[in-house]
Amino acid sequence: MQMTFRWYGKDDPVTLEKIRQIPGVQGVVWALHHVPAGDEWEMDDILEVKADAQRYGFNIDVVESVNVHEDIKLGLPSRDKYIENYKKTLEKLAKAGVKVVCYNFMPVFDWTRTELFHKMEDGSTALFFEKAKITNLDPMAFVKEIEEGSKGLTMPGWEPERLSCLKTLFERYRTVTDEDLWSNLEYFLKAVIPTCERVGIKMAIHQDDPSFSIFGLPRIITCRDSLKRLLSMVDSPANALTLCTGSLGSNPENDVVSIIKEFGGRIAFAHIRNIKRFDNGDFIETSHRACDGSIDIVEVVKAYHDMGFAGYIRPDHGRHIWNEDCRPGYGLYDRALGVMYLLGIWDTLEKAKQ
């Protein structure tokens, strides 16, 4: 396995200089965050990130994410133009040495939480999801709240260009069923996977986060059966997974460890983090430690170790500790602790094997 760490680019307060001091990190997980979904990435921009990363000894093998334009998810006639752009971006990324491209197929929203800085007992704060708050919300009232600039709900995964057209998007998705979304995903994969096979890139889909439908929007990449369907839809090693323990783990019906064991060979990129689930469907993101949350992270790492996992791993969201002023979930300290915890487990297993 190769340990990696997400880096948001030159504006990230978690600089490459700092990341370099975390033991064991070999690559940065990156993206051109300024490029709107659907646009083709420029080679010069890609090479600039590569040069920056290499100066600190990091590879840029994993991109998270090349976002999929909503027209592709909606299956609109304009999708072909965006798919062509996507393919051109993949070709350029491969030229620069990229091996894995993480993406998701969630309509409208990426990862969704109801509170970004929920106070924990020890004084730290963490990302929190209150199920009732989302369930009881009328999406249109919600759109209005956003338009009026309400700060009550903050959704960190939102791209600014999506915010400006929320209402239209909700209207467009009103008639889109799960099956429509599946067939739009299939269309997209059948178009891009041959390019991936040719240039040597793995498309690694991220599970929907949380792994259940929100706001009545279709969400399809949520459980073992959906992963099975996805992988057999285009049965190629280039059609792969970003296996996210926290996203899958948000749904108590998912047995994350057995899912990892079942699909191990098709996992290109592992997001490892813990969450604590509550009986009412709420969850909070805890430290990575197994006993702090509902997911047995020791068993997760063991599953990867046992299968001789050669892909990429990154610690996922961290809490905000030691008064760090940081991007929600993406501070330095708790994620660095996460790296050390994961490597501690891995090294112990390695030693036991010898």
Cis peptide bond upstream of 65, omega within 30: yes
The amino acid sitting at 335 is R
Number of residues that bind ligand DNO (CB under 6 A): 12
> Given 316, 326, 333, 341, which residue is catalytic?
316
Shortest separation between residue 222's beta carbon and ligand DNO, angstroms: 13
In the complex, least distance from residue 103 CB atom to ligand DNO, rounded to whole angstroms: 5
CB of 280 to ligand DNO, least distance (A): 23
Q: Is 222 in the site for ligand DNO (CB under 6 A)?
A: no
Q: Does residue 206 interact with ligand DNO by CB under 6 A?
A: yes
Q: Binding residue for ligand DNO (CB under 6 A) from 30, 41, 58, 111?
A: 111
CB of 225 vs ligand DNO, minimal distance in Å: 20
Q: Which stretch binds ligand DNO (CB under 6 A): 100-108, 256-264, 280-288, 303-311?
A: 100-108
Is 316 a known active-site residue?
yes
Cβ proximity to ligand DNO, 206 vs 319, nearer residue:
206
The residue range among 97-105, 167-175, 225-233, 292-300 that interacts with ligand DNO, by the rule CB under 6 A, is 97-105
| Catalytic-role residue among 173, 330, 333, 341 | 330
Q: Among 82, 103, 129, 142, indicate the residue that binds ligand DNO (CB under 6 A).
A: 103
Task: Pick the catalytic residue from 317, 326, 333, 341.
Answer: 317
Interactions with ligand DNO, residue window 172-191 (CB under 6 A): none
Q: Do you know the residue count of the chain?
A: 354
Query: Residue type for 131, please?
Result: K
In the complex with ligand DNO, the residue whose CB is nearer, 161 or 354, is: 161
| Assigned token pair, 15 | 């600089």
SS (H, E, C) 179-218: HHHHHHHHHHHHHHHHHHHHHCCEEEEECCCCCCCCCCCC
Distance in Å, CB of 209 to ligand DNO, minimum:
6
Minimum Å distance from CB 188 to ligand DNO?
A: 14
The verdict on 110 binding ligand DNO (CB under 6 A) reads: yes
What string marks each residue from 37 to 76 as x (binds ligand DNO by CB under 6 A) or -?
A: ---------------------------xx-----------
12, 69, 196, 271: the active-site residue: 271
User: Least CB distance from residue 79 to ligand DNO, whole Å?
Assistant: 18
330 flagged as catalytic: yes
Residue from 49, 72, 101, 102 touching ligand DNO (CB under 6 A): that is: 102
Contact positions with ligand DNO (CB under 6 A) in 265-324: 271, 317
Among 24, 75, 157, 281, binds ligand DNO (CB under 6 A): 157
If DSSP states are collapsed to H, E and C, what string results for the chain? CEEEEECCCCCCCCCHHHHCCCCCEEEEEECCCCCCCCCCCCHHHHHHHHHHHHHCCCEEEEEECCCCCHHHHHCCCCHHHHHHHHHHHHHHHHHCCCCEEEECCCCCCCCCCCEEEEECCCCCEEEEECHHHHHCCCHHHHHHHHHCCCCCCCCCCCCHHHHCCHHHHHHHHCCCCHHHHHHHHHHHHHHHHHHHHHHCCEEEEECCCCCCCCCCCCCCCCCHHHHHHHHHHCCCCCEEEEEEHHHHHCCCCCCHHHHHHHHHHHEEEEEECCEEECCCCCEEECCCCHHHCCCCHHHHHHHHHHCCCCCEEEECCCCECCCCCCCCCCCCHHHHHHHHHHHHHHHHHHHHHC
186-to-43, 59, 154, 229, 307 alpha-carbon distances in Å: 28, 31, 31, 10, 29
Applying CB under 6 A, the span of 19-27, 77-85, 98-106, 147-155 interacting with ligand DNO comes to 98-106
**246 touches 316 (CB < 8 A):** yes
Q: Which residues are catalytic?
A: 206, 244, 271, 316-317, 330
Contact set with ligand DNO (CB under 6 A):
64-65, 102-104, 110-111, 157, 206, 271, 317, 329
